[in-house]
Amino acid sequence: MPYRAPVSEYLFTFDHVVGLDQVAATELFAEATGETVEAILSEAGKMCTDILAPLNRNGDLHPARLENGVVRTSPGFADGFRAIATGGWIGMAADPEHGGMGLPFSIATAVNEMVGSACLALQLNPLMTQGQIEALEHHASDAIKALYIPKLISGEWCGTMNLTESGAGSDVGALRTRAERNGDGTYAITGQKIFITWGDNDFAQNICHLVLARLPDGAPGTRGISLFMVPKFIPDAAGNPGPRNSLGVVSLEHKLGLHGSPTALMDYAGATGWLIGEEHKGMAAMFTMMNNARLGVGMQGVAVAEAAFQKALDYAQERKQGKTPLGAGAIIDHADVRRMLAVMKTETFSARAIGLACAVALDMARATGSADWAARAALLTPIAKAFGTDIGNEVAQLGLQVHGGMGFIEETGAAQFARDVRVTSIYEGTNGIQAMDLVGRKMMDGGAAAQRLLQEIEDHAGEARAAQPDLASAVWNAAEALRDATDWLVGQEADDRNAGATAYLRAFARVLGGHYHLKAALADLTRLPLAAVAIKRLLPEHLALIAQMREGAAGIYALTPERLAS
């Protein structure tokens, strides 16, 4: 069977797990009633199931290609993009002043996940545009906002993010792209950028590139970087695309997966650009887009996990192999296959709940101005990104295993999920960087935001003991262990924190997953078996992860290059 958008799962998670009602109770998002949310998700689900999902295989079999400087997209992608654009899905969370819906980011996050499950290669396009819209809303001049945002929301124009260069990957401050003042308020941008997702296409009237570059008087490192809007076609005052700018696609990358998403090497040869934000403060503006994209990429991992699980479940119910304890003959009745499917579903729920909880925190911070909600969102962002994409990779691999030998055959489609999702753990800062961000910048408050969240988990588990004593006690004990680990962590030197960062992030995700599964089971007892998998089989990993974290950096650095090579 093809992908089916799990609308009821989103509604349950919003209502009983992550508390979307808090968002709807604010003045800013008062229109996000349960009835409205259900109608929006149902309509988006129909588009994903009926229109976008059938395109997924086309993107894999017929990659985007570069012909005489023009990017030709995969068959059906133009129609798919138009369905997304005309439905208003690009501007879901954008300001109504410029034509957006003004919906909570939580709703946009759920819709984006569905679009990613249906066709991840295409979903990357509107995701980049959404991030650019948010960056412009926060940092651009009124004139730039009025000219660009309505076109981006409508889908007439598309947006990209240009950070990476061949000599400056994660070390953005090492970039060499330069900007020169033209004397008329514009700037000349010269340099090359690599790995530019959807750097061009053949269905948008204009491609709007946000480009990081350094002015002649810019300080070294990230402090001296500025951000510029550099359109493919220079628009006139009415927004009509005019002359071609001095930029172009040099080549498209040949990738492991996501073949339908053109990843471009972009060349800027004195291209005309407009400053976004202040000179030398481009990273602050770009981080607005990057933070949006980090959660978005985390949910891409969840999206692929959902699609891979659905395909594996369908196959397991149809494939007959050997005698099973239940006698039906389908492989789903073999204990180990049932275990794999249970883990796939459990992990997908955990990662989704973490991502949606992060989105709710972002909405609450925006609607209330609360510093605590902002800190909660900041804390959850690296966890949502890293855990979501790790789970996307792991669930896709389990999907291959459920298919057995047929999973290794491309025609079944299971392998595409594994190839497409692999890059998400690298996108927008590798997962190791996310983990170091969690134990570094996100712990600059002495761990206060983490401790507040863990206290909430303990309080809920304490209340749940009357109904589910075993599961609730396990969650409470895990949260307490993580509280102690957090106290230890904030007292360590940076190298020791960084060496244990990945283990700590995973342990935190394990505790969050157990907490959200417990909430789900209390709201619906039919979810109790799934919660038991999360809490009894997966949550115990947190102790081993905490032990890893406490080992520090000495043992890692004892493995010198010479010892590693011997």
Looking at residue 512, its pLDDT comes to 98
Which range, of 50-54, 164-168, 195-199, 211-215, averages the lowest pLDDT? Answer: 164-168
Write out 59-89 in H/E/C secondary structure.
Answer: HHHCCCEEECCEEECCCCHHHHHHHHHHCCC
Q: What is the pLDDT of residues 518-552, one digit of tens each?
A: 999 999 999 999 999 999 999 999 999 999 999 99
How many other CB atoms are found less than 10 A from the CB of residue 30? 11
Q: Which two tokens stand for residue 229?
A: 């809007």
Is the domain of 22 the same as that of 142?
yes
Q: What is the pLDDT of residues 333-378, one digit of tens each?
A: 999 999 999 999 999 999 999 999 999 999 999 999 999 999 999 9
364-382 burial string, b = 16+ CB within 10 Å, else e?
A: bbbbbeeeebbbbbbbbbb
**First CA to last CA distance, the chain:** 50
Residue at which a domain ends, from 118, 151, 184: 151
Residue 345: name the closest of 382, 379, 311 by CA. 311
**Taking a C-beta distance cutoff of 8 angstroms, is the pair 92, 261 a contact?**
no
Q: Which two tokens stand for residue 400?
A: 């291959």
Looking at residue 169, its pLDDT comes to 67
Average pLDDT over residues 83-98: 97
Q: Tokens 């998998």 correspond to what residue?
A: 533
**Is 515 within the bounds of a domain?**
yes
Is the domain of 186 the same as that of 112?
no
**Is 254 within the bounds of a domain?**
yes
Dihedral, 275, 277, 279, 282 alpha carbons, nearest 10? -100
Q: Tokens 């350094």 correspond to what residue?
A: 214
Is the domain of 175 the same as that of 106?
no
**Is 378 within the bounds of a domain?**
no
Average pLDDT over residues 156-180: 88
Is the domain of 202 the same as that of 88?
no
**Is 393 within the bounds of a domain?**
no
Looking at residue 288, its pLDDT comes to 77
For residues 190 and 202, what is the distance between their CA atoms, to the nearest angstrom?
24
Look at 118 and 164; give whichever has higher pLDDT.
Answer: 118
Output the furthest CA–CA distance in the chain (Å, rounded): 80
Which contacts (CB < 8 Å, 24+ apart) does range 314-317 have?
Answer: 314/1, 315/402, 315/403, 315/406, 315/412, 315/414, 316/341, 316/402
User: Containing domain of residue 446, as a range?
Assistant: 430-553
Is the domain of 219 the same as that of 89?
no
Looking at residue 280, its pLDDT comes to 95
Residue 509: name the closest of 381, 344, 365, 343 by CA. 381
| Beta-bridge mates of residue 273 | 187
How many other CB atoms are found less than 10 A from the CB of residue 24? 20
For residues 164 and 423, what is the distance between their CA atoms, to the nearest angstrom?
15
Is the domain of 162 the same as that of 147?
no
**Is 32 within the bounds of a domain?**
yes
CATH of the domain at 101: 1.10.540.10
Is the domain of 455 the same as that of 478?
yes
Residue at which a domain ends, from 283, 308, 343: 283
Is the domain of 130 the same as that of 176?
no
Is the domain of 143 the same as that of 179?
no
Element (H, E) at 210: strand 206-214
Strands 263-276 and 247-252: antiparallel
Is the domain of 162 the same as that of 267?
yes
pLDDT at 200 over 70: yes
Q: What is the pLDDT of residues 476-516, one digit of tens each?
A: 999 999 999 999 999 999 999 999 999 999 999 999 999 99
Residue at which a domain ends, from 283, 307, 331: 283
Position 167 confidence tier, pLDDT thresholds 50, 70, 90: confident
Q: What is the pLDDT of residues 246-293, one digit of tens each?
A: 999 999 999 999 999 999 999 999 999 999 999 999 988 877 777 778
CATH of the domain at 532: 1.20.120
Average pLDDT over residues 58-69: 95
How many other CB atoms are found less than 10 A from the CB of residue 465? 14
**Is 477 within the bounds of a domain?**
yes
Residues 6+ away with beta carbon under 8 Å from 257: 60, 416, 418, 419, 420, 421, 422, 423
Domain count, the chain: 3
Looking at residue 328, its pLDDT comes to 67
Query: Which of the 8 DSSP states describes residue 257?
Result: S
pLDDT at 462 over 80: yes
Q: What is the pLDDT of residues 11-27, one digit of tens each?
A: 999 999 999 999 999 99
pLDDT at 221 over 90: no
Give Cα 520 to chain centroid, integer Å: 23
For residues 398 and 419, what is the distance between their CA atoms, to the nearest angstrom?
13
For residues 125 and 123, what is the distance between their CA atoms, to the nearest angstrom?
5
For residues 544 and 564, what is the distance between their CA atoms, to the nearest angstrom?
24
**Is 352 within the bounds of a domain?**
no
Write out 143-174 in H/E/C secondary structure.
Answer: HHHHHHHHHHHHCCEEEEEECCECCECCCHHH
Is the domain of 112 the same as that of 164?
no
Average pLDDT taken over every residue of the chain = 96
Active site residues: 428
Average pLDDT over residues 147-169: 93
Query: Which of the 8 DSSP states describes residue 552?
Result: -
CATH of the domain at 223: 2.40.110.20
Q: Looking at this protein, which amino acid is placed at residue 267?
A: D
In order, the DSSP letters of 413-463 are SHHHHHHHHGGGGTTTS-HHHHHHHHHTGGGTTTTHHHHHHHHHHHHHHHH
Q: Tokens 């249970």 correspond to what residue?
A: 342
Is the domain of 119 the same as that of 176?
no
Residue 306: name the closest of 383, 384, 398, 381 by CA. 398
Q: Looking at this protein, which amino acid is placed at residue 411?
A: E
**Is 296 within the bounds of a domain?**
no
Q: What is the pLDDT of residues 399-438, one digit of tens each?
A: 999 999 999 999 999 999 999 999 999 998 999 999 999 9
